[in-house]
Structure 1
Amino acid sequence: MKRQEIQHKCDKCKELRDLTLQLHELAQFSELLSNQQDVYVRRKGKLQLQGKVYTKSIGKWLRLASQLEKVEMNPFRYEEAYYYCEPVGDMLDSHGRHHESIATPLTRFIYVSNALEECYRFSNNAYETEFDMSGQSENMEYLRSYSAQAAYILNSKFHACKLPKYYEHLVENFLKIIKFYESHFKARFDVALNNDGSTSYGLALVRNIRNQVAHGVFPIIEDPEYSFEPYDQSTKKVIINLLGQASRLAAINIQMLLSVLSPGFESESYAQECMDFDTGDHFKQHCTFIYLINLHTKQCFGLNEADYFAIRSEWLDH
């Protein structure tokens, strides 16, 4: 893969919000929902209550991901040679910058993955209800893992006309990076690296990257400036790009799942905004599930203070 192919942004990608802003907006929206669902496990054909899941918990992980600025490294901590050897100091400084550049998007992805795990659990109630209503009579295979249940919800509830804006384009871009990553690092995937057209295919790719990170097999490449490993700066950029795209797609899948699973806004904050005599009706018209499913794209309305105060001023002027 050529360097310009990695760095180039097409017209569709230029319409996307910064990843951290997308995560912030989704965190705010999750808190405005303030929903909770029971979570079950099925044993010997009977459901047993396991606990509850909250959209606020999803929002908390997303807020951490959105506010993460930089993971700091200190390669000098257990070294002394740099006191009397300037080249060693230069090398350690380079190592620190290199590992920070990978650790930051990696940590952000871990936070987003935790939010996605909570969203999997949020899908359980809807899946169990559907299985009890139709699955058993149709001899439908029961899916035990929450991630598989979430994928089923996506495939059964979404069609091409309802997908988030540019979603298919983003999945194809992610797949290109995945193929480069797979060939260079011999990474293993439990799905074919050939888009099957299902709504949940993008989620399956994200889940594979998440599992590689969780199981400790995701590659942590050494500093290309000083390493004997066969990786250069362009390969490093692929890793960083991979983590960024995985975080974005994970967040969009959370958007999709919440849009079909949430019973609606149940927070006091949402009710208070809607009761505002001057702007409540405008807020209600803009803060919708249509906004949720496309909040990764640039638009005038936003739940962040800068965008919200700006559009609120426009509402008041009119």
Structure 2
Amino acid sequence: MSESEFPTQKCDICSKMRPLAKHLFELSQYCLYLGGSASYQSGDGSREVFPSTIGSWLELASQLKNVEINAWEFSGSDGFYCGTVADYYDRNSKHYSSYSTDLTRFIFICNALEETYRFVVGRYETPQFNKKFRLDKKLRGVSLKAAYLVNQCSKMYVPDQLVHICSNFEKAFSYYRKVFPASLSGMNNVNSTDLNYGLHLLRNLRNYIAHGVFPLMEHPENIGSSYLADGFLEYLLKSGSRTAALYIQMFLGQFFNGFNSWEYDQVDGACGEEFDRFLDNCSPTYCRSLHFIQDFEFEDWIGYREDGL
């Protein structure tokens, strides 16, 4: 594996991005202030889909600090009299805790992405978007319909540096498939230059995890060698998490229909410089760039923190 698939240092662009947890929190709050709803029709009936639900999954992902795996649990007494065994348990605890944390976060974000599909997929049924398909060749799955909508997206809604950030994920995913060959579904007529290419890869990675074929790799020291460098799967999941959040941003920007939440209305009706600043910044423009470090942030928009810092 080369450094291009598993970079050890951030480039100039990536070094300007907010940490993943901060990125997810900012996006979750944008969903909260966005408000509104969309009707979703499925074989089980119809229901309303709310951006606040998307935001709740993202906020949960942003707050996830650590999934603890304790390899000492049920281990017996061998680790207490053998240093080598004790090191083995300690190593596994750290290794699988890190893996489980990134895997859990990715699942939470995929849940947000799936709900986003349901939030926007109604647009696929409108003549504006589906006129290119013959009736007998329309896409069926909600994720495929949403992916089609991405390719109809105006450049003005594309998150800043999406192509660069997606390329990091695409390189890692490509290397992963070299080591663990797996088929790609729903990729007919999809080109690597398409705007929705990364979204298709995310869908396949999500399916590998959902179907239980994503590997549970032992620590390299336990087996003497490894096809993948230690930490690569975690890097792949982190990169996929970041990419999924960007596609959510794109969907929310593409189908923006104003801010319709109670939370936004409360700010809109208030007086003061801090409220004006919020209203100036809480916009689809911010949605395109909220993954980058900048002065405005939802976490501290009113200008102070409870801890006084």
TM-score by length of structure 2 reads 0.89
Alignment of 1:40-189 (within 5 A): 40-41=41-42, 49-80=45-76, 81-128=78-125, 130-131=126-127, 135=130, 139=134, 141-159=137-155, 162-189=157-184
- Figure out how many residues of one structure are paired with residues of the other and give that number: 299
Residue 192 of structure 2 is matched in structure 1 by 196
Measure, in 2, the Cα distance between the counterparts of 1:61 and 1:210. 16
Q: Is the 8 A contact 1:222 1:229 kept in 2?
A: no
Residue 19 of structure 2 is matched in structure 1 by 18
Measure, in 1, the Cα distance between the counterparts of 2:210 and 2:203. 10
Residue 2 of structure 2 is matched in structure 1 by 2
- 5+ residue gaps, structure 2, are none
Measure, in 1, the Cα distance between the counterparts of 2:268 and 2:28. 19
Q: Is the 8 A contact 1:171 1:249 kept in 2?
A: yes
Measure, in 2, the Cα distance between the counterparts of 1:28 and 1:37. 18
Q: Is the 8 A contact 2:159 2:287 kept in 1?
A: no
Report Cα offsets for 1:145-166 as digits up to 9, x if no partner. 111111121111233x542111
Measure, in 2, the Cα distance between the counterparts of 1:248 and 1:29. 16
The one of 240, 262, 269 aligned to 2:263: 269
- Classify 1:308/1:149 alpha carbon distance in 2 versus 1 (closer, same or farther; 3 Å): farther
Q: Is the 8 A contact 1:116 1:250 kept in 2?
A: yes
Deviation of residue 187 (structure 1)? 3.2
1:28 aligns with 2:22: no
Residue 215 of structure 1 is matched in structure 2 by 211
| 1:11 alignment partner, SS class | coil
Q: Is the 8 A contact 1:34 1:55 kept in 2?
A: yes
Residue 299 of structure 2 is matched in structure 1 by 304
- 5+ residue gaps, structure 1, are 43-47, 312-318
Query: RMSD of aligned C-alpha atoms?
Result: 2.3
TM-score by length of structure 1 reads 0.87
Report Cα offsets for 1:83-106 as digits up to 9, x if no partner. 332321221111110101111111
Measure, in 2, the Cα distance between the counterparts of 1:134 and 1:115. 23
| Aligned amino acid, residue 176 of structure 1 | K
Deviation of residue 228 (structure 1)? 4.7
Deviation of residue 135 (structure 1)? 3.8
Measure, in 1, the Cα distance between the counterparts of 2:302 and 2:285. 17
Residue 288 of structure 1 is matched in structure 2 by 283
Measure, in 2, the Cα distance between the counterparts of 1:114 and 1:292. 19
Flag as ranges the 4+ runs of structure 1 deviating above 6 A: none
